[in-house]
Chain A
Amino acid sequence: METPNPNVKMWQGNVACAEAALAAGCRFFAGYPITPSTEIAEVLSRRLPMVGGNFIQMEDEIAAMGATIGASLGGAKAMTATSGPGFSLKQENIGFAVMAEVPCVIVNVQRGGPSTGLPTHAAQGEVMQSRWGTHGDHPIIVLSPCSVRETYDMTVRAFNLAEKYRTPVILLSDELVGHLTEKVEVPPIEQLGIVNRKKPLVSPDKYLPYELNESDIPAMANFGDGYRYHVTGLAHDETGFPTNNPEKIQVQLERLNRKIDRYRDDIVEIETHYTEDADILVISFGSTARSARRAVINAREKGIKAGLLRLKTIWPFPDREIEEISAPVRKIIVAEMNLGQIAHEVEWATRRSKPVVRVNKINGEPITPNEIFNAIIAQD
């Protein structure tokens, strides 16, 4: 009999997320119970103390986000996880993390909305909220996994990107992926390419926490490192102190946005199947992309030249990739469990140069391969 491989696990998506966080070096998690993300908190409440980390269930979602930011400033890699209504509550403090450039990971296991919606059913309605949920012009990184293994990989990547770019990163999962149980071969930790925040190399009297430097990413001192700086959500200059000086505000906010924009090629990831000679391009993401892939394979079997473009990074939006890959195709189909949040961006990315057909569902049921297949046939 073969010895079982200890690195092969049967994990739920949410469990993979929790385990990946630990592997990425997360040592602080603050959460609040909400379906369908609760398993992440449950697993980490058991696992974090085992590795000397901290789990805390806060009094509400807002506090969980605040504590996550506070812990990151204290030097810990920190995460929180939630779903729709909780994600809404966290928005103000997510904006604080963006503005103060505090690395952290926010997991949103999407469920049906609006409002309390469908707590136990999947949806993909927070594409736009994850981009623009907090007020003011700001950059954000959003990743969307389609499988349990990818949940693992993307959670690690979310931490790495957060640390590298000094920014909050949102992992936009959904109820189907979160609650799906699959076989996962856990990669060895040395393959994860763990990234840690860049620490200042200058002495405290020369440290500028929001320095305008060549990389656009200022080094980050942790509280207690001897740098004694000021962190605020108010508009601030290089020193971190509030300012009303229009030039200084402009230059800081431009850097804040440029910091993500200029590295979009490093951040944006997509996956393609059969797109080389495709006539009809299906674009999808998250759990829906699994149905889309099956639909494309079925179409190919019928001799229809269909291809799939799966968005792994949702924001920054893969507009250039979409434009390039869709250039030769005749029609685009966007399948998503919302009323066209990605489709709208696709129309923008392709400058409305070709029809974008929408396959949408918002009743809590997944979009089936057949529904997407039928849409492909209808366009053929």
Chain B
Amino acid sequence: MDYLQYLRLDKMPHIWCDGCGHGIILKSILRSIDKLGWDKNDIAMVSGIGCSSRTPGYVDFNTLHTTHGRALAFATGLKIANPRLHVIVVSGDGDATAIGGNHFIHAARRNIDVTMIIYNNYIYGMTGGQVSPTTPSRKKASTAPYGNPDEPFDISRLAQAAGAAYVARSTVYHVGRTDKYIEQALTKTGFSVVEVLTPCPTSYGRRNKEGTAVDMMMAQKANSVGLERAKNMSEEELEGKIITGVFVDKDQKSYLTRYNEVVEQARNAK
């Protein structure tokens, strides 16, 4: 496929570091969109702040680069005002689950008709490698020089618990699966989330001696466990593993469907 038709060529090359997996995720998004044959005019991509949130600047859609953590709030208003738009939110682990954590769980609860792709690299990359809500316990960050004392969030489980209609996790190494999940998420009615683990060799890998981007992707391959297989594994066996797969895929009324019912009720009540 021709990726270039979706890019703003004068903005390339992008700002992401060598070996950063963000570009791989963006390609998965573009392949899925291409497969669906959507008109570029009907797509809006919304982001917050951070490395991942620079994505909209490179793609030839209606693009909105908002404030830190708030992409889902803006996206909610945008989708409601113009339901014809396919609204895609791209976010990072810090943007989505620290400063934007409240919006994340409520978007899921509300089942707003938006797809969210979360680039999870365990770190605040843009600001130079500070600890994030998904940094694994004891791993080092510029603000966790003795190792992260906290337990991390499991983003997919969080989305599942909060009520999202579709939740899947993949890694940039598993590019075929990522494509499939993103395509499923984009066509899902309601709030859909795809969490993609992506290496940050610059700010996370180096500090934690995890090697190059290639080494980090090889580790993704070695440590990934499919959801079905994980069900038969003990907690000790799952230590340090990445559980991939589709966590949720359910049909439930989306926000817009429910609100249209409200409009009907209000009009009849008049």
Contact = CB atoms under 8 A, between A and B. Distances in A.
Given A58-B76, A222-B82, A92 B266 contact: no
Given A49-B266, A50-B267, A233-B67, 4 more contacts: A27-B81, A52-B267, A73-B64, A93-B66
A183 interface: no
A274 interface: no
B77 interface: yes
Interface string B48-92: 000000001100111111110010111111111110110000000
Interface stretch (B39-47, B206-214, B215-223, B231-239): B39-47
Contacts of A71: 77-78, 80-81
B257 interface: no
A244 to B, nearest CB: 12
A23 interface: no
Contacts of A49: 259, 262-263, 265-267
Nearest to A49: B266
B66 A96 contact: yes
Contacts of A231: 63-65
Contact of B81 (A46, A70, A225): A70
B65 A66 contact: no
Contacts of B106: 58-59, 63
Interface of B: 11, 40-42, 44, 46, 56-57, 60-67, 70, 72-82, 84-85, 102-103, 106, 259, 262-263, 265-267, 269-270
A15 B81 CA distance: 23
A167 interface: no
B63 A62 contact: no
A66 B81 CA distance: 13
Nearest to A242: B57
Contacts of A60: 102
A229 B62 CA distance: 5
Q: Looking at chain B's contact residues, is the secondary structure mostly helix, strand, loop, or mixed? A: helix
A30 B77 contact: yes
Category for how many chain A residues contact B:
35 or more
B270 A50 contact: yes
A241 B57 contact: yes
Contact of A67 (B60, B74, B267): B74
Contacts of A56: 76-77, 80, 259
A222 B85 CA distance: 11
A174 B183 CA distance: 50
A74 B79 CA distance: 7
Contacts of B85: 74, 223-224
B76 A223 contact: no
A227 B61 CA distance: 9
Interface string A214-255: 000000001111111111111000000110000000000000
A112 B269 CA distance: 38
Contact of A63 (B79, B80, B103, B265): B103
A68 interface: yes
B11 A241 contact: yes
A124 B41 CA distance: 45
A66 B41 contact: no
Given A46-B266, A54-B80, A67 B63 contact: no
